[in-house]
Amino acid sequence: MTLNAVLLDQKTLGDDVDLTVLANLFNTWQVYPLTSDHEIVDRCANADVVFTNKVQLTAAVLTALPKLKLIAVTATGTNNIDLVMAEKLGIKVINVAGYAGASVAQHTFSLLLQLTNKVASYQRFIKLGQWQTSEFFCNLDFPMLELANKNFGIVGFGRLGQASAKLAQAFGMKIMIAERPDATVIRDERVSFEQLLTHADVISLHCPLTDDNTDLFNRQIFAKMKPSALLINTARGGLINEPDLVDALKNDVIAGAALDVLSTEPPIDGNCLLDYSGDNLVITPHIAWATTEARQRLVNQLSHNIVDYLNT
C-alpha cells in the first residue's frame, strides 16, 4: 500500500529532533515549516496521513480531503481537529501523551525557583556592576525563600502533577492534592479545593482547560489564598483570569506568580500580564513541554502509534 504523508508545521517540533522514524514509514514524506489556513487543502490533497500540531483541520477542510485516512496530532490536545466530522468521514485521529512529564516538572520548578531564589535579579545586579562595588562579600537586596517544609498544592494530579509532586518532595515540601472545586466527596489523600487555597504556600496548575474551570483562579480565589502564596501555571492560560491576577500581584494579595502559558498564544494583540512590570511575575513562552528529549520522545511515540495503526 502506497502511503503519502504531510507534516504541516515542522517548526513546532524544532530543528533539533530526528524525524527519520516518521519519514521511513511512508512512500512520500512532505514537510512544511508552517502552514496557513488557505494552504492546508492544497498541501494535503494527496495525503493519506497528515501531521499537525496547531494547524486547524476544520469540517470544511476535512470534507475537501477525500484521500485522508489518518490525522496524527504532534501533541496531546486534539482541540484543533473537528473530531465529529473526522469520525463521520472515517478519518482516524491519534495523538501522543505522557512524553513531557519530566520536562514539565523540571520547568515548573525552574519557574518556582526563579520566584524564590531571584536568580535573574541577582544576575542583573552583577551585570550592572553592583556586586563589584558592594561594601561586603554578598548582597541581600533580593530576599530568598526556602522550599523545605512549605506546602506544595497541586491542581490536577495526572502524570504532570505527579511528576511535579516527586520533585517537590525531593525539595522537602509537603504535598497537598486538591479535590475538584465542586466535589462533595473528598477522596483519600486529597484535600478540598478550599483547604488547598488557604493552606498552600505554592499552588501549581496541571489540569486541562474546560468550560467548567475557565477563569478558575480569579479575584475571589486570590483573596482566599495566603498573601505569601506563589502561583505556578504550566497548564493552560485560560485557567487564570489575567486582569484579576495583575490586580492581585499589584496589591500584594498574593506574593507572586510564574506562568508558562497565556490565554492567547502568541499574544499578538498584547496582554495585561506582559504589560505588568513587577518583579513578582515570571513569564516564559509555553516551553515547559519542550526539552529536546521530550520532543524526541513525542516523535518516537507517534511513530509507534502509527505502526500500530498500520498493523490493524
Q: With pLDDT > 70 as the criterion, what percentage of the chain qualifies?
A: 100
DSSP output for 53-101: SS--B-HHHHHT-TT--EEEESSS--TTB-HHHHHHTT-EEE---SSSH
CB distance 263 to 271 below 8 Å: yes
The CATH number given to 4-99+292-310 is: 3.40.50.720
Q: How confident is the model at residue 1 (pLDDT cuts 50, 70, 90)?
A: low
Q: C-alpha dihedral over 239, 241, 245, 248, to 10 degrees?
A: -120
Q: With pLDDT > 90 as the criterion, what percentage of the chain qualifies?
A: 87
Q: Please say if the pLDDT value at position 144 is more than 90.
A: yes
More confident residue, 84 or 270: 84
126 CB contacts (<8 Å, ≥6 apart)?
A: none
Q: Please say if the pLDDT value at position 149 is more than 90.
A: yes
Q: How confident is the model at residue 307 (pLDDT cuts 50, 70, 90)?
A: very high
pTM of the model: 0.90
First to last CA, the chain: 14
Q: What is the mean pLDDT of residues 219-239?
A: 97
CB distance 207 to 180 below 8 Å: no
Coil/strand/helix, residue 240: strand
Q: How far apart are CA 69 and CA 236, in angstroms?
A: 30
- Out of 3.40.250.10, 3.40.50.1820, 3.30.960.10, 3.40.50.720, which CATH number does the structure's domain 101-283 have? 3.40.50.720
CB distance 248 to 227 below 8 Å: no
CB distance 205 to 153 below 8 Å: no
Grid cell in block for residue 223: 483573596
| pLDDT value of residue 267 | 93
Block residue for cell numbers 525531593: 170
Q: Please say if the pLDDT value at position 2 is more than 80.
A: no
Write out the catalytic residue numbers: 236, 265, 286
Backbone dihedral region of 196: left (phi > 0), alpha (psi from -120 to 50 degrees) or beta? alpha
Q: Give the closest residue to 285 by CA, choosing from 302, 301, 268.
A: 268
Angle subtended by helix axes 101-117 and 292-310, to nearest 10 = 160
Q: Please say if the pLDDT value at position 250 is more than 80.
A: yes
Task: List the chain domain ranges.
Answer: 4-99+292-310, 101-283
| pLDDT value of residue 268 | 83
Which DSSP letter does residue 239 get? G
Angstrom distances, CA of residue 116 to CA of 112, 120, 122, 148: 6, 11, 12, 12
Q: Please say if the pLDDT value at position 312 is more than 90.
A: no
Q: Please say if the pLDDT value at position 251 is more than 80.
A: yes
Block residue for cell numbers 512590570: 277
